[in-house]
Each structure stands twice: as structure tokens, then as C-alpha cells.
Chain A
Amino acid sequence: MRKFVVVLGLLALACGSSPGSTARPTIDVYAAASLTDAFKALGASFQGASVRFNFAGTPTLVTQIEQGAEADVFASADTTNMDKLKADGFASGEPKVFAHNSLEIVVAPGNPKGIASLADLAKPGVLYISAGPTVPAGKYAAQALAKAGVTVHPRSLETDVKSVVSKIELGEADAGIVYRTDVRAAGTKVTGMSIPDAYNVVATYPLVEVKGAKNPDAAIAFIAYVLSAEGQAKLATFGFQ
């Protein structure tokens, strides 16, 4: 019995102690799925802390943070979700816009279905999928289609923009509307068809320190790094504007 208590105590100690508290701090950055590649690169070159990422659809991240996930920084793919986080009292300070993005039509390599415009998405035999209406990419896609006066019914509402790209890559769907940075990140595995400026939508990416961050100093330093000339240049190499 006594031994058992000791073991339990040791276990509790092992769980409670913070290993490597002398090493550089770790911050958790919750970022929109479309930022995956760019932010991984930024995290690798950021000196102030080691950065752990959680990439998902923006509304999923907001839900996680509001349900108590320990995030230090939140980077959103739209202002709506950022405003929600702020209104609900989970943001510390003012969100800052750090990047812009625009949309492209994503199709299989070589565009076998000959999709050249938004109107072509409504052609019979074209399996169109979209990110869900609460995901920024899905909302922007709907806006672009509305501007072009095209009515098309998506066959699936994916939970984030990256899974739209992967369904196209796998050949399960013919077309989707995603960020041009996603098309670029997928390389030769998909083809992107540009959308004219008149119908395109500019996506605005703000980021903010999350209230109650474990490492507020490192969080602020990371935000400053993303906004710095070096950070901005890195984002530009991934196609962000």
C-alpha cells in the first residue's frame, strides 16, 4: 500500500514538473490551414522561442481556443472569426493584419475537364467541392461565385481549405476554389486557373496574442517577427501579398 502511494506521488510529480524550464520557451500558434507551409517556415527561422503549430479551419481554431485550448497566438484567415474571438474576450490587444491572399480555381494537373472560368464550374459533369460556409475559404469562394453570377452546388463542404486541395489531388473531385497560395504549395500535383480581379476576393489575415498566453513575451515577439521585413519577405515567397 505504502509503495503504491509513493508511486502515485512520483507520477504526479513527473506530470507536474515543467521539463527544461531553462531552455527557450515554447509557444503554441493556432493558425488557419492555408498558412500551413508559410508558418512552418516562419516558425523554423524564428529565434525567440520554439514554435508549436496547430493548423485547422479558422472556425475550428476559434472553438478550440474558446473551449480552453492553451494557445499563445491566433492567426485567422478572415476578420470575421478574429472579431468573434475578440468580442468573446479571448484576444489580448488589437489584431494586426499581416497578409493578404486571393483565390484561384484548383483542378487536376493539366486541367482535364477544361475548366477556364467560374462559369465552367456549373457545367454538367463537373464535381465541384468547397470549404464549408463558416470556413473563410468557403465564404470567399461563395462570394466570388456570387460576384460572377454563377450558381453551383458543391458536392461536399470540407472542414478546411487544405482538404479541398487534397480531394482534388486524389482525383475524387474535379474542381474547387481555394487560395492561390494553396495551389502554389501543392506544386505539380494540381493546376490553378486564375480568377479575374473583378470576381476575385481579397482574403485578409489578422493575428493576435491570445488572452492568458503562457508566454506573452514570446507571443508578442513572434507577432513582431511575422510583421517584420524578414517575416513579410518569407510570406511573399509562399505567394502571400
Chain B
Amino acid sequence: MRREKAPVWIGLLAALGAAFFIIPLVGLVVRTPWGDAARSLTSADTLDALRLSLIASLSATAVALVLGVPLAWIYARIDFPGRAVVRALTTLPMVLPPVVGGIALLLAFGRRGLLGSWLAMVGVSLPFTTAGVVLAETFVAMPFLVLTVEAGLRSMDRRYEDAARTLGASRWTVFTRVTLPLIAPSVLAGAVLCWARALGEFGATITFAGNFPGVTQTMPLAVYLLLETDPQGSFVLSLILLMVSLLVLVGLRHRWLGSA
């Protein structure tokens, strides 16, 4: 990279911009009562929230992988009418306020929802269940996986697929034996992004799945509610989520931070 000197104003504003992100993080680290960390971490509610968050976010990631990779493949390879519209609609949760997503889920999968009323007839009710949490998290997080995998599919060298086809491999064999291994890094990156987003999900979860310790109260909900009763505890939980986010970022550094 060519060495360049920044004009004073750009440098100052850039420093202000960077400080804006760094100061809150420093605040969290400084104010966390390290002495109490062990107590906060081992309280039953915290452990419940941690366990639930792990189960729900990993399940959401699994669902997103099973449904999202095929979706990404279709977007990248098949030119069907209305693709742009469908693609936009399935990407919408990335920019949609999560609470709105939660309300939409209620109206679709709630007991009186479009599909929910059918589900209720066979005795399946999603709100207030862990399955409801997984649904809410999948809704907001899957687009991150779909877009990442789609980008991977578009940038891969398709000559390998063509070669496999000419050698007589079926389309399915090509997908599983050639395409998937080639885009594995994108799938992994997409899954990690999706998992991180699912782990942090708050708005859609509390709206659609409610809040009950051990069943639907995930880490972000616990952090929010603990702030009212046990601020120190909520600082500790916040710090854990911060660490996880940091690990995700470090893990994906080659994708986002270039050579840094």
C-alpha cells in the first residue's frame, strides 16, 4: 500500500468515528465487576440462558444450512421469472426491524396465524416454545448465510463443475462432490455469521416466543431484563456476548479485515 498522510480534518473525524465504537466497549470492560463474574456466570438463570442460547442458535444455523444453501444455489444458478423479487423478499429480514419480524411471525405461525391455525389443529403451538425461538432466530439470521453462500457460488470457478459433468457425473453428484467442497469456505463463513446473528437475536424472539427462563429467555433477553434487577450480572453477560462477537470477527478476519 502506498504511504499517504491524512489531511488533519479527515484524521480528526476518523479518530472521532473510531472512538465512537471503541469507547462503549471500553466502558463495558471497565465497569464489569470481575470479582462478581464467577457468581453471575454460575447463577441458575444465567446458565439456563447460556444453554438455551447455544441450543437455539445452533439449531437455527442448522436449519439455515439445510434450507439456505439450496436457496443460495437457486439464486446463483437459475434464472427464473421473479427471481429479483423473491431474492429481495428473502433478504428483507437483514434490514427489517426484528420486532416487525416477530409480529409477522405471530401473524403467520401464531395460534390464530395463517399457518399457525392449521398447526394448532394438529396440536402444534410455536409461540412460547424453544422451537419458536429457533424459528425467530432462523428468520432473522438465515439471509446472512444465503447471501454469503450465493456470493461464493458466483465467484467460484465453474469449469470444475463442467468437467465433472462431461465425465458423466449427475447434477446431484456435481453439487455434493464438486460444488459444495469448492464453496466450503463461504458456507462456513455464512454459517458463522448466521450463528452470530442468531445468538444476538432479541426483538423477534421476545415478540414471537415470549420470555421464560430456560424455555425462551435467551442471552440477549436475560441481559436486557437483568439490567433492571442485577445490573452487574447484565454487564458480565454482555461481556460474554462481546467476546463471542470478537471471536467471530477474528475467525473471519481474512474475509473482512483483509491482511490486517
Which A residues contact B (CB, under 8 angstroms)?
1, 4, 59-60, 62-63, 127, 129, 132, 134, 154-159, 167, 170-173
User: Total A-B pairs in contact (CB under 8 Å)?
Assistant: 53
* Contact assessment for B112 and A157 in the assembled complex, using a CB-CB cutoff below 8 Å: no
* Contact assessment for A167 and B228 in the assembled complex, using a CB-CB cutoff below 8 Å: no
Using A155-B210, A158-B211, A170-B112 as known contacts, say yes or no to A134 and B229 having CB atoms under 8 A apart: yes
Using A132-B211, A170-B112, A172-B110 as known contacts, say yes or no to A159 and B225 having CB atoms under 8 A apart: yes
- Closest Cβ of chain B to A196, distance in Å, is 28
- Closest Cβ of chain A to B115, distance in Å, is 14
Using A172-B106, A172-B127 as known contacts, say yes or no to A156 and B228 having CB atoms under 8 A apart: no
* Contact assessment for A170 and B210 in the assembled complex, using a CB-CB cutoff below 8 Å: no
- Closest Cβ of chain A to B200, distance in Å, is 18
Q: A155-B210, A157-B211, A170-B110 are in contact. List 4 more A-B contacts (CB 8 A).
A: A63-B231, A134-B225, A134-B228, A156-B210
Question: Interface code B218-230, partner A: CB below 8 Å = 1, 0 otherwise?
Answer: 0000000101110
- Closest Cβ of chain A to B240, distance in Å, is 20
* Contact assessment for B212 and A154 in the assembled complex, using a CB-CB cutoff below 8 Å: yes
Cβ of B69 within 8 Å of any chain A Cβ, yes or no, is no
The 5 closest A-B pairs by CB, nearest first: A156-B210, A171-B112, A59-B228, A155-B128, A172-B127
* Contact assessment for B228 and A63 in the assembled complex, using a CB-CB cutoff below 8 Å: yes
Considering residues A62, A132, A170, which has the most beta carbons from chain B within 10 angstroms of its beta carbon?
A170
- Closest Cβ of chain A to B120, distance in Å, is 9
- Chain B interface bracket (under 10, 10 to 19, 20 to 34, 35 or more): 20 to 34
CA distance A60 to B125 in the complex (A): 30
* Contact assessment for B128 and A129 in the assembled complex, using a CB-CB cutoff below 8 Å: yes
CA distance A157 to B127 in the complex (A): 13
- What residues on B are CB-neighbors of A129 within 8 Å? 128, 210
- What residues on A are CB-neighbors of B212 within 8 Å? 154-157
- What residues on A are CB-neighbors of B127 within 8 Å? 172-173
- What residues on A are CB-neighbors of B213 within 8 Å? 157
- What residues on B are CB-neighbors of A156 within 8 Å? 128, 210-212, 216
- Would you list 6 pairs from A and B whose C-beta atoms are within 8 A, ordered by A residue? A132-B225, A155-B128, A157-B217, A170-B106, A170-B110, A170-B112
- Closest Cβ of chain B to A213, distance in Å, is 22
- Closest Cβ of chain A to B114, distance in Å, is 13
Q: Nearest A residue to B208 by beta-carbon distance?
A: A172
Using A62-B228, A129-B128, A172-B111 as known contacts, say yes or no to A159 and B206 having CB atoms under 8 A apart: yes
